[in-house]
Structure 1
């Protein structure tokens, strides 16, 4: 995909990040696929993008309207907590909010995960001027 001007929603992501995002979209994990089935097509009243380029990262899911990043942490994340914390801090520098769920939460209790996202969106909607 050739892009000459990056919209603000990509926060300066380079071509390689877009390429990585495309590969990740084609190879989503079972947990990512399950959550995407509940987020795509604006099912929660706002648009989410799967495997969305942001700066030097690819967010699992992103809602630009509310500057919300949703990350799903697999088993390896327990060994890379410092990396995840740093990644969250970098994303927060862009004014983004990061919500994290584990694979197990998504796979075993998708309703609770979706309800958590809905609650966040409801609070964010109240705080966002029209």
Structure 2
């Protein structure tokens, strides 16, 4: 499902007003650590994860204190379930952790990138023999 024009515009606006933890994390992710390319505030269907690695099918969300409220938790769960149904894993990182220990947060994210999502196995090309061509 491609993002709507409204979602794309929303993503553009979010890029302009990133929080300090998002800015700090983006400074680390934008240099393609370990060859992993991340996009910031990238629209995926109706949602805009803070960061998204297409090759790992991993969305990263930097959660501030507002994500501790019941209504936001329910909204986050719906979003996570929708992304999971699309074969995208969600990794949530506390904003305080980004500000206090960016190096370990980066390592944590990169470790998750190395683990292939189970749904990605269906996206791999079939071996030559499986196509019925000998």
Bin the TM-score by the shorter chain. Answer: 0.7 to 0.9
- In our comparison, the structure showing a higher alpha carbon Rg is 2
Q: Deviations over 1:18-56 (max 9, x none)?
A: 100001001100010000001003123111000000111
SS of match in other structure, 1:47: coil
Distance 1:75 1:123 in 2: 28
Normalising by the residue count of structure 1, what TM-score does the alignment of the two structures yield? 0.85
Distance 2:86 2:100 in 1: 32
RMSD: 1.8
What is the number of residues matched between the two proteins? 119
Q: Say whether residues 1:28 and 2:18 are aligned partners.
A: yes
Q: By how many angstroms is 1:122 displaced?
A: 2.4
Q: Say whether residues 1:93 and 2:85 are aligned partners.
A: yes
Structure showing the higher strand proportion among its residues: 1
Could you list the structure 1 runs, at least 4 aligned residues long, displaced by more than 4 angstroms after superposition: 127-130
Distance 2:53 2:107 in 1: 16
Q: Say whether residues 1:16 and 2:6 are aligned partners.
A: yes
Normalising by the residue count of structure 2, what TM-score does the alignment of the two structures yield? 0.82
Distance 1:24 1:124 in 2: 28
The aligned counterpart of 2:35 is 45
